Structure formats: C-alpha cells, structure tokens
Structure 1
Amino acid sequence: MPYTLGPGEHRIHFRELGAASRPTIVLIQGLTLDGRFWFDLPQRLAKDPEHPWHVLVPDNRGVGLSDLPGRPWTMADMADDVAAMLDAVDVRQAVVVGISMGGMIAQQVALRHPERVAGLILMATWPGLPYGKLPPLRSLGDLVGSSVVQRGNMDAVARLILPDSRRDDARELLRGWFGLMRERPPQRQAVLGQLGAIASHSTGHRLGRIQAPTRVITGAEDRLIPPINAERLAARIPGAGLEIVPDVAHAIPLLDRSVVHRNLAALGMWG
C-alpha cells in the first residue's frame, strides 16, 4: 500500500489504479470519509474502455490509513498532502476532483500548486466565509447527529445527503456507506481536526487566481452546502462552468454515476 510523507512528516496513504502512462486524476473525499467512499468510481475511471485514467485516491489526514497529526491543521496543509502524493508517484499534473471538504482541498491545491492542476472538478462544496452561504441550522444539527460524527443515525444521514424523493430508498442506497463506517470509524480527534480546517477555509477573495479549466457541480436539493455556493464559486473562478443536477442532494456521485465522466468530457480532459 503506497504512502507518502505530508508536511509535518506524517504518512498519507493513497491508492493508485491504472497505468502511470495515462493522464492522472485525483479523487478527494469529504469530511471524515476516506478514499473507499468513492466506491467503484476509481475502478470505472481506470478501466474506462475509451478513456482510461491513472487514478490516485488519497485518504485525507486523520482518516483511513493516513496518520492523525498531533496538532491542528488547515485546508492548505491537506492541499500540500495532495502535492506530496503527486511527487511520490512522479506525476507533474493531474485533474483534481473534490467533493464537499474534498472540494475545499481541491481549491487550495489549485491556488497553492497551480502548476500541478490540469483541470478542476468541484462538487457540493463552497468557498468558505465571507463569500459562502452557511447551511440551515437543521442541517448543521443533522451533521452533528449523523454517522459522519456519531456513526449510526440513518435518518440524519439521509436528510443530509439524499433528496426527499429518495428518502424511502435510504437503507438500500446507504448500505455500503454504513458498512464502510463500521469497518473503519473515524477517531474523534480526526473529526475535530477536519472540522477545524473547514472552519478556517476561505478562498473567495483568491478564486480569481485559478487558471485551470474548472467545472462546478451542485445538487439542486443539497441541504448541507446550499447550491448558491456553487453559483458563487463558478462566478469567481475565471471561465468556470456550472452544472446544477436536478433531484440530487449532497451525495452527487451516489445518484449520478456519470457525473465525473460527464464533466471530464465537458473540460475536454480525455487522454
């Protein structure tokens, strides 16, 4: 299992799929979720019959098989972890895909390491304050009561990440999610560390510096990160395209299995 050392000499675990000679794509997950929560997307990208990719899937610091640092950290630190991973496999540039907190990390990668980013796909994410819009109090309550933090409240998770139209299917849709949570639950210190990084995330005044071709995607029913955040991101990133997916909430790839492939095509990012 490959590891690299991030800033502070802690280990970052990542998975590598597909031939290194192909174009590289990095998939970054959200709050307390390690790379397993992309489910079969890495394999589908690596084995795409027309456009196969070299796929890198990191476990964010504190979760999965990556080390938990002993001090607080920032979103910029996690962006530097991604750059260290690219160095470890000798990749100069990659398309960087991030969802939720992973989208915040991806923004920071594009700002701190612009030469490493060939394209950017930001899903269900925000620029932080003061440019972003906070979720309603009910959604913040669901976040605290959900499996993301307490591991077990199916109703809270469903309200957070599924549209109302799919709530009756929650048990089936989230079976894999809860199975992975039971296998490797996040530590409390990791949850607090990642929440601290989210609290200090603020890129709105710098988004105009992003030069990589960018797509911003939101679910029309997202309660956790209101869709207006995607509109504001797209408006501030030069040339960014915006997609609002109907009848989808926060967990976009769970219900729209083609979303990453479709937006790679929209960027013209085929190998």
Structure 2
Amino acid sequence: MAYHTHQNRRLYYLDHGSGPAALLLHGICNSGRAWLPQLQALSSAGYRVIAPDFAGHGASSRLDAPYSVADLAADCVALLDHLDLPQAHIVGLSLGGMAAQQLALDAPSRVRSLTVACSFPSTASDEARQMLATWKQTLREPDGPLKRLEQSWPRNLNAAFRASPAGQALYWQWHAQAAQADGESQARICEGLADYHLADRLASIAAPAQYLAGECDEVSPPALGQWMASQVPGARFAILPGAAHVANVDSAAAFNDALLAFLRQH
C-alpha cells in the first residue's frame, strides 16, 4: 500500500527500491514527486527511496488546523514505524529540511545520517513572519496554490533550467499539481511554521550531517546554510554551483553526486 495512517490522517508515500532507506522530505506547496530527479540515482546505487507527501500536500489528507514542523516530523517517525525501519538516511529540502532537523532532534536514534538542503533554522525573524503572512494570504485566495507557484517559480529554479525543455515540462507538471492542491491546507502549514525555532538547538544534533546550499538561492542564501552547518558538531557544508532554491531539481546531477558521496560514508 502507498498510504499509512497517523492520528487519523491518511498519508501518502512513494516506496521504491531496496537497501538502506533514504527518507526524502519535500518543500512547502510541493509533494514527494519533487524528488523524482533523485529516484533513479539513489535506487541504482542500492538505496530504498521513501518519499512521503506531507499532510496537507499531494495525495495526503487535508488540514483544518495549524500544523507544525514537529507534527510533520512525528508523521515521518510514524512512517518509519509503519515500514518497520529502525533507521533511515533523512534528506530534506526547505520545509523538508526543517522537518529533517526536527526529526534528528526529536528521534535521534532513527537517523542514520542527515542531509539538509536550502533550509532554515528558524522563522522567528520579522522577514520570515512577513513572508509567511504573504503566503497564507495568497494560498487562501481563489486558485491560491496556482498563484503562489507562478510567483515563486522564477526564484525557485535557476534560469538555465527554466528555459530548458525539462524545465518547461516540469513547470506544467507542477502547474497541474498546484491546480489540484488545497490552499487552505497549505496555509495551515504556514500557520504552524510560526512556532518553528531550532537555531539554539542545532548543536544537539548527533547524527552525521551535511548541509547543501544553492549558489543562487535567494530564499535560503548560502550563508544561512553555512551558519547552520557551523552549529552542528562535525557537519560538512557544500555549495552547489548555479543552483537556486529547489537545488535537487535545477542542479540534480550535482545534488545527487553530493548526496551519494555522503551517504556512502554512513
């Protein structure tokens, strides 16, 4: 089955391949399908790829109340339980990176390694609060998820990828996905992000960790990723040349190389 149930929420996940498990956590307003550029690379290298749709996203249950990063992390632990997996390599981008860090702190024994890409340590700043307020307003408008995709696409993917045939095809795939998304559910995730603050807890992460940043990421600049890596004992840091915010997509080859090199060491 491609679903599990946690606290009365029916949550969808992709499960492909065999070997050590890699749990891939997507960004806000997206789905597990955002990890398709990693699916073949990881499975061919001998990893089992598990890519859930967060609550309120993709094929998972809708939300009618604020949903925190801690809630998302708890859903991930429940998925590992459902699959009888004592541990997994945890990989997260943007919102997924926030949930990955939360999971590493809340359930450290379940984390074989931690990869955080283009993410954040906190939403406590005035800038972050304003950004979330804008997103909530947009998402609750008619066709809000479509509007947000159209607004965010130029910042999220680099210009070369957006101009390529693959980029143009992906735009229409994500456009169709956004057309079916529930804006209220995604706004509830934005509400839950208001309480996210791990900046002063990162030093407690015990898992082997790497932080990846997109050289051209305007949403989560490289300096932020470097700072997070500096807080986590023993963490490594790398910049992906030319990559924007959704670096696993617009710079998939470089992302996959960095990810696989790290996973093979752990």
Deviations along 1:207-264, whole A, 9 cap, x unmatched? 1110101110111111112222201210111111111122211010122223134233
The percent identity for this pair of structures is 26
> Aligned AA for 2:260?
L
Structure 2 residue runs without a partner (length 5+): none
> Aligned AA for 1:53?
Y
Q: 4+ residue stretches of structure 1 with deviation over 6 A?
A: 137-146
**CA distance in 1 between partners of 2:53 and 2:148 (Å):** 24
**CA distance in 2 between partners of 1:143 and 1:221 (Å):** 25
8 Å CA contact 1:158, 1:167 repeated in 2: no
1:45 maps to 2:45: no
Partner of 1:12: 11
Partner of 2:188: 193
**CA distance in 2 between partners of 1:116 and 1:103 (Å):** 16
> Aligned AA for 2:259?
N
1:110 maps to 2:104: yes
Indicate how the Cα distance of structure 1 residues 261 and 170 shifts in structure 2: closer, same or farther if over 3 A, else same. closer
209-218 or 179-188, larger mean C-alpha shift: 179-188
Deviations along 1:141-171, whole A, 9 cap, x unmatched? 799779x9441577633432133x5276167
Other structure's SS at 1:57 match: strand
Deviations along 1:110-136, whole A, 9 cap, x unmatched? 011100000011011010145x7947x
Partner of 1:94: 88
Q: CA deviation at 1:66?
A: 0.9
8 Å CA contact 1:220, 1:246 repeated in 2: yes
**CA distance in 1 between partners of 2:40 and 2:224 (Å):** 30
Indicate how the Cα distance of structure 1 residues 61 and 154 shifts in structure 2: closer, same or farther if over 3 A, else same. closer
8 Å CA contact 1:114, 1:211 repeated in 2: yes
Normalising by structure 1, what TM-score? 0.85
8 Å CA contact 1:121, 1:263 repeated in 2: yes
8 Å CA contact 1:154, 1:171 repeated in 2: no
Q: CA deviation at 1:174?
A: 4.2
**CA distance in 2 between partners of 1:156 and 1:35 (Å):** 21
Indicate how the Cα distance of structure 1 residues 225 and 117 shifts in structure 2: closer, same or farther if over 3 A, else same. same
Question: Residue 23 of structure 2: which of 17, 22, 26 is its match?
Answer: 26
Partner of 2:201: 206
Structure 1 residue runs without a partner (length 5+): none
Deviations along 1:153-208, whole A, 9 cap, x unmatched? 77633432133x52761675142243244146221111111112222211111111
Higher helix share: 2
Partner of 1:126: 120
Partner of 1:234: 229
How many residue pairs get aligned? The number is 261
**CA distance in 2 between partners of 1:5 and 1:237 (Å):** 32
8 Å CA contact 1:94, 1:118 repeated in 2: yes
1:2 maps to 2:5: no
Indicate how the Cα distance of structure 1 residues 265 and 133 shifts in structure 2: closer, same or farther if over 3 A, else same. farther
